[in-house]
């Protein structure tokens, strides 16, 4: 249980990093070594080092860590590379449908998680940035992404310069079913755990339960996320609404 205890079960999001270099090339290699749907490897990574570009991405994400220390990678669903290898006049429908897009999402997400897990096992820390989806059209423009690609998520990695608490997770019975969908579970105890977590982390400034987080999400400003379907179509993906 050593690996589980020290790594897999000890994941914490780190958003503050020391100004120390890391072996990011090896981490990219672990991302590439990740399982891939049909071995098409339908993702690309973009390492963002330009200060102005990082500032522009921070404006989209609203995450201050993006312009701080640490390495920033953007994981991109990428079927453009596959399409570029197809014969001229070939039917590219298999690379633009839901199956191809989802496969690219799987590949990119698994690669990002593998990269983060490897980093944590090496004593580094990081945080996933789904918030780049606040304005995917702007991300596409900033990164000069071609058709048949889509910016899925970001990942910050570096030498930790903060200590954070372990977030309580849903009880296993709420997410695990055997041979069928898991039954409804009373989450009142979990609500109390989450409330205690935020109260302790913010010295009482934030009072929120898991249930209240869901309620807040219902009324949250989703920025340009409602436009994702339209943006995917503009990027060449044939995804029926």
Question: Does residue 85 belong to any structural domain of this protein?
Answer: yes
The verdict on residue 187 lying in a domain is no
How does residue 165 score in pLDDT terms, banded at 50, 70 and 90? confident
Residue 46 lies in a domain: yes
Instruction: Answer yes or no: is 156 within a domain.
Output: yes
The residues, any chain, with a CB within 8 Å of residue 69's CB and separated by 6 or more, are: 16, 17, 18, 19, 20, 158, 159, 161
User: CATH number for the domain including 158?
Assistant: 3.40.109.10
Q: Give a yes or no: residue 144 inside a domain.
A: yes
Single pTM value for the model: 0.92
- The domain in which residue 98 lies consists of 12-164
pLDDT at 8: 79
Residue 200 lies in a domain: no
Structure tokens, 59: 């404006």
Number of domains in the chain: 1
Q: Kindly state whether residue 48 falls inside one of the protein's structural domains.
A: yes
Specify the pLDDT at position 222. Answer: 61
Taking residues 68-76, report their average pLDDT: 99
- The C-alpha atoms of residue 20 and residue 71 are separated, in whole angstroms, by 10
Tokens of 71: 């390495």
Asked if the structure places residue 80 within a domain, the reply is yes
Element (H, E) at 208: none
């Amino acid at each position: 249980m050593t690996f589980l205890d020290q790594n897999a079960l000890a994941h914490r999001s780190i958003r503050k990093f020391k100004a120390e270099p890391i072996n990011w090339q090896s981490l990219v290699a672990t991302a590439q070594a990740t399982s891939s749907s049909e071995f098409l490897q339908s993702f690309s990574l973009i390492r963002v080092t330009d200060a102005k570009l990082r500032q522009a991405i921070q404006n989209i994400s609203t995450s201050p860590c993006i312009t701080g220390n640490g390495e920033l990678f953007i994981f991109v669903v990428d079927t453009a590379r596959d399409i570029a290898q197809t014969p001229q006049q070939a039917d590219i429908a298999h690379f633009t449908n839901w199956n191809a897009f989802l496969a690219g999402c799987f590949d990119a997400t698994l690669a990002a998680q593998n990269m983060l897990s490897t980093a944590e096992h090496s004593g580094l820390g990081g945080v996933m940035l789904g918030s780049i989806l606040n304005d995917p059209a702007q991300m596409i423009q900033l990164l000069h992404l071609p058709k048949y690609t889509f910016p899925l998520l970001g990942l910050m990695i570096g030498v930790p310069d903060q200590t954070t608490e372990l977030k309580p997770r849903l009880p296993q019975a709420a997410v695990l079913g055997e041979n069928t969908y898991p039954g409804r579970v009373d989450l009142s105890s979990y609500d109390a755990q989450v409330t205690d977590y935020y109260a302790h982390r913010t010295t009482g400034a934030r009072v929120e339960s898991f249930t209240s987080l869901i309620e807040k999400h219902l009324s949250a400003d989703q920025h340009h996320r409602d436009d994702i379907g339209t943006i995917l179509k503009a990027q060449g993906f044939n995804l029926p609404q």
